[in-house]
């Protein structure tokens, strides 16, 4: 009976992503049963070797002649089917190549590359001078190889960059003058292994023969008393023995040494070894209702999407905890996404110490090997809950019952490079794959999310009050125009803010100062009337370009000359906005020399786990100021913070983005929520040149519903999302005219004039 053939559909991972369709390969008899959906394989492609991923296995092929898979690369399989499904959707939705999307789901540090080496064979040098029908280009290549030795294909092509080089190399290989070899590069991430000692069965009379070998006896007695499986380094340190004594015990058959995996202490890195400071709390009526509805969806397995809208301090995290426990009780796994690395330690501390289980952690400040450790434990079923930033959506966590996207409105969930996915939208798709319940949580939901909730696509749940014993902070709005005229003060911090900060610190309490620099763009603002020049087409702020003294719209590229004269009030009072965190830090240190100022921005958080270290320092420091950018505005819980100051509400308000008002409302509401989260009542000081702007006013009032109605009406009038989808089309070419012609052609195809 002939052997049944098997074929695999393989997507080849090419750097360019140009070949974005699966190819059929035969599974050789030696690999039958080993090749699986999700396997990473080495395959021939034209006259090279390439890495590919198996998408499907079938007993037949419509292709008459197919090549064979060469080998499987560990771990096997490297991808789970749900990851393949998610990446397929992502490639289609975001117009990315499939292979590029799949790379996001690969284990950290395990992506592999093929290195192609080219070298002369013995007779190659004989043909350099001889007339053997070779062209001058052939001889130049042979001469270069004879001088340099083995070279990678890419290095050789740097010396011979023209397109004909590949053809000349093929001819030289056909003549037997050069040899090509392919090497799969070693992965960057590996499990941490060490030697451990294990006892073997032995007879008592054999044991008696050790008398006189004191060190060997001590080692054996220690193993008999304390059990085996102890690390060699630890055993030798505890017994004061030498490796040679242990080696002789192994040779005599009393024990053996094996390589064992050492799990890296990821949880300890995030401070989870500390005592839990709080217990299980009583739920408010609204919390109990939210937990009940989400739990009912988990019971049904209906894949319901919930939008949990809860004001700051209303206890959304407690709802997540209760629902996560419910999913675990059902034997299903949980994925929780947070927007910033700084929120990860706090969330895993809550979950780990309340639920009493180990969690998986995914974020960019862990090393590839640390993340690979987590990946292996997830794959082996040791981890049931994963917490992480947007990349955690690609973890191999299977059997999902609950997905939580905390602070779902946050722009950090949007990836800035291809594929430019949004983790919230990817979470919606992942929930569909597993029929999992999805909870989108925020005090200030994205307009698109609330729009879907109002239309009935999502189920809206509300938490309208803070948990018992906590009041919303008192918010004061400082008009910087008036402040400058009447009271003076520094050019950055108003006298009101400085007075309140002084009172706060003198009582041993803590303050937070927020300065938005994320997505910062220079813009002009009138210090007398607050006017900001805007685009006449798009109604967004014009960006100031100092070199050419131009105001430019970064949406439609409208340009106009910049002037010091305000077009609204006709005063020479237009100033350039923007002060960095370092400048504010210097001011604070001069004014409050006896108090600690902790700065959190892109510079200070660059070192590994610096987010966690800085927040821990602030948490333990009485009378301290935390100065930071967007990363400090949400989710953080510091009961001793009684004052929050917003240095400039105008920075976010005047970004060249149609979402500027929404971003401003969200940032001001979120940062205000960091104040008064303990027993003491909190205060918030918001500084602005535009205190009458609706986004600022409604954020101060913590009135999301009114803001939504105002903003959604403006979006409808202008045709902005959620009433449309905006797509940015970029045409790239070395030839400017080619790019312009391509864009003009597409514009005509789309109906533009």
Minimum mean pLDDT among 52-61, 350-359, 405-414, 428-437: which range? 350-359
What pLDDT score was predicted for residue 634? 66
Minimum mean pLDDT among 134-148, 514-528, 689-703, 722-736: which range? 514-528
Q: Mean pLDDT across the chain, nearest whole number? A: 84
Alpha-helical segments (H) within 654-700 = 660-672, 694-700
Is residue 673's pLDDT more than 90? no
What pLDDT score was predicted for residue 132? 62
Highest average pLDDT, of 101-115, 563-577, 616-630, 657-671, comes from: 657-671
Could you give the CA distance from residue 205 to residue 202 in angstroms, rounded to a whole number? 9
Minimum mean pLDDT among 212-221, 235-244, 639-648: which range? 212-221
Is residue 142's pLDDT more than 80? yes
**Per the confidence metrics, is the pTM higher than 0.75?**
yes
Highest average pLDDT, of 88-92, 145-149, 414-418, 748-752, comes from: 88-92
Residues linked to residue 53 through DSSP beta bridges, in sequence order: 11, 40
Is residue 21's pLDDT more than 90? no
Band of pLDDT at residue 151, cut at 50, 70 and 90: confident
Band of pLDDT at residue 580, cut at 50, 70 and 90: low
Q: Which residue has the higher pLDDT, 290 or 344?
A: 290
Is residue 728's pLDDT more than 90? no
Name every residue whose Cβ is closer than 8 Å to that of residue 367 and which is 6 or more positions away in sequence. Answer: 189, 608
- Tell me whether strands 641-646 and 400-406 are parallel, antiparallel or unpaired: unpaired
Is residue 10's pLDDT more than 50? yes
pLDDT tens column, 626-639: 988 777 776 677 88
Highest average pLDDT, of 361-375, 436-450, 529-543, comes from: 436-450
Sign, CA dihedral 530-634-314-329, equals: positive
pLDDT tens column, 246-257: 888 888 888 888
Is residue 285's pLDDT more than 80? yes
What pLDDT score was predicted for residue 273? 44
What pLDDT score was predicted for residue 2? 57
Torsion of CA 394, 399, 400, 401, to 10 degrees: 180
End-to-end CA, the chain: 68
What pLDDT score was predicted for residue 519? 39
Q: From the CA atom positions of the chain, what is the Rg in Å? A: 32
Contact present, 591 and 511 (Cβ < 8 Å): no
What pLDDT score was predicted for residue 87? 96
H helices, E strands: number in the chain: 26, 30
Band of pLDDT at residue 429, cut at 50, 70 and 90: very high
Name every residue whose Cβ is closer than 8 Å to that of residue 330 and which is 6 or more positions away in sequence. Answer: 298, 299, 401
Is residue 268's pLDDT more than 80? no
C-alpha pair distances (Å), 356 with each of 321, 349, 379, 400, 607? 12, 10, 20, 19, 30
Band of pLDDT at residue 124, cut at 50, 70 and 90: low
Would you put residue 400 in left (φ > 0), alpha (ψ -120 to 50) or beta? beta
Question: What tokens were used for 742?
Answer: 């391509």
Highest average pLDDT, of 217-221, 389-393, 453-457, comes from: 453-457
Is residue 83's pLDDT more than 70? yes
Band of pLDDT at residue 703, cut at 50, 70 and 90: very high
Q: How many residues does the chain have?
A: 753
What pLDDT score was predicted for residue 272? 46
Is residue 196's pLDDT more than 50? yes
What pLDDT score was predicted for residue 123? 55
What pLDDT score was predicted for residue 276? 44
**In Å, how far from its chain's centre is CA 105?**
12
Band of pLDDT at residue 130, cut at 50, 70 and 90: low
Minimum mean pLDDT among 214-228, 419-433, 480-494, 698-712: which range? 480-494
pLDDT tens column, 221-245: 888 887 777 888 888 888 888 888 8
- What percent of the chain has pLDDT above 70? 91
C-alpha pair distances (Å), 405 with each of 419, 440, 458, 660? 20, 5, 14, 22
Alpha-helical segments (H) within 601-656 = 610-620, 650-653
Is residue 715's pLDDT more than 90? yes
C-alpha pair distances (Å), 280 with each of 318, 382, 390, 611, 617? 9, 25, 29, 27, 26
DSSP class of 572: B
Cis omega (within 30 of 0) for bond into 672: no
Would you put residue 542 in left (φ > 0), alpha (ψ -120 to 50) or beta? beta
**Residues 125-147: what's their mean pLDDT?**
73
**Residues 36-64: what's their mean pLDDT?**
89
Band of pLDDT at residue 611, cut at 50, 70 and 90: confident
Question: Phi and psi for 205 in degrees, rounded to 5?
Answer: -65, -30
**Residues 210-227: what's their mean pLDDT?**
80
**Residues 270-281: what's their mean pLDDT?**
52
């Amino acid at each position: 009976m002939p052997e049944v053939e098997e074929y695999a559909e393989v997507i080849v991972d090419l750097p360019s992503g140009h070949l974005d369709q699966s190819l059929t390969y035969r599974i050789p008899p030696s690999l039958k049963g080993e090749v699986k959906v999700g396997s990473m394989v080495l395959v021939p492609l034209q006259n090279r070797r390439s890495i590919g991923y198996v998408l499907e296995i079938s007993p037949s092929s419509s292709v008459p002649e197919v090549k064979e898979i060469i080998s499987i690369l560990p771990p096997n399989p490297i991808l789970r089917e749900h990851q393949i499904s998610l990446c397929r959707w992502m490639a289609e939705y975001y117009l990315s190549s499939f292979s590029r999307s799949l790379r996001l789901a690969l284990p950290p540090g395990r992506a592999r590359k093929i290195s192609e080496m080219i070298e002369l064979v013995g007779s190659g040098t004989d043909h350099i001078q001889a007339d053997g029908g070779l062209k001058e280009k052939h001889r130049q290549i042979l001469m270069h190889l004879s001088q340099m030795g083995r070279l990678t294909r890419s290095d050789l092509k740097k010396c011979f960059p023209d397109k004909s080089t590949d053809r000349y190399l093929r001819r030289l290989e056909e003549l037997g003058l050069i040899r090509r070899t392919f090497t799969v590069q070693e992965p960057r991430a590996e499990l941490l292994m060490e030697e451990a000692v294990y006892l073997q069965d032995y007879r008592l009379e054999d044991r008696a023969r050790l008398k006189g070998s004191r060190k060997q006896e001590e080692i054996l007695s220690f193993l008999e008393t304390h059990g085996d499986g102890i690390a060699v380094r630890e055993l030798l340190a505890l017994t004061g023995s030498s490796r040679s004594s242990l080696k002789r015990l192994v040779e005599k058959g009393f024990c053996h040494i094996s390589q064992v995996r050492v799990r890296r202490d990821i949880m300890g890195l995030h401070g989870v070894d500390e005592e839990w400071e709080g217990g299980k709390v009583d739920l408010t009526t609204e919390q109990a209702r939210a937990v009940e509805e989400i739990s009912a969806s988990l019971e049904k397995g209906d894949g319901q999407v919930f939008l949990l809208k809860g004001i700051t301090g209303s206890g959304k995290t407690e709802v997540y905890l209760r629902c996560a426990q419910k999913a675990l009780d059902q034997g299903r796994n949980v994925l929780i996404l947070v927007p910033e690395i700084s929120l990860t330690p706090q969330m895993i501390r809550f979950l780990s110490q309340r639920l009493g289980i180990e969690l998986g952690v995914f974020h960019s400040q862990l090393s590839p090997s640390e993340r690979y450790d987590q990946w292996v434990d997830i794959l082996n079923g040791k981890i049931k809950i994963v917490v992480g930033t947007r990349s955690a959506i690609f973890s191999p966590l299977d059997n999902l019952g609950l997905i939580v996207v905390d602070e779902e409105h946050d722009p950090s969930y949007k990836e800035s490079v291809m594929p430019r996915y949004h983790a919230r939208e990817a979470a919606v798709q992942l929930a569909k794959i597993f029929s999992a319940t999805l909870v989108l949580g925020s005090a200030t939901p994205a307009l698109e999310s609330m729009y879907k909730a109002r239309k009935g696509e999502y189920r809206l749940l509300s938490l309208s009050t803070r948990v018992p014993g906590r009041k919303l902070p008192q918010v004061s709005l400082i008009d910087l125009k008036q402040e400058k005229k009447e009271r003076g003060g520094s050019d950055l911090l108003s006298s009101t803010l400085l007075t309140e900060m002084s009172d706060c610190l003198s009582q041993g309490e803590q303050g937070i100062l927020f300065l938005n620099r994320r997505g910062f763009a220079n813009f002009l603002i009138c210090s007398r009337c607050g006017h900001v020049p805007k685009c006449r087409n798009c109604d967004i702020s014009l960006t100031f370009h100092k070199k050419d003294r131009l105001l430019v719209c970064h949406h439609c590229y409208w340009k106009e000359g910049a002037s010091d004269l305000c077009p609204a009030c006709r005063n020479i009072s237009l100033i350039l906005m923007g002060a960095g965190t370092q400048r504010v830090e210097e001011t604070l240190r001069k004014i409050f020399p006896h108090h600690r100022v902790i700065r959190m921005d892109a510079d200070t958080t660059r070192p590994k786990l610096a987010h966690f270290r800085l927040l821990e320092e602030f948490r333990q420091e009485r009378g301290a100021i935390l100065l930071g950018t967007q990363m400090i505005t949400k989710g953080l819980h510091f009961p001793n913070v009684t004052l929050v100051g917003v240095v400039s509400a105008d920075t976010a308000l005047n970004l060249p983005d149609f979402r500027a008002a929404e971003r401003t409302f969200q940032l001001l509401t979120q940062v205000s929520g960091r104040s008064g989260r303990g027993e003491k009542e909190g205060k918030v000081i918001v500084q602005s040149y535009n205190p009458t702007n609706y986004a600022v006013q409604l954020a101060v009032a913590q009135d999301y519903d009114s803001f939504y109605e105002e903003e959604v009406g403006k979006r409808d009038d202008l045709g902005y999302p959620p009433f449309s989808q905006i797509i940015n089309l970029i045409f790239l070419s070395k030839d400017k005219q080619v790019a312009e012609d391509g864009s003009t052609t597409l514009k005509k195809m789309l109906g533009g004039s």
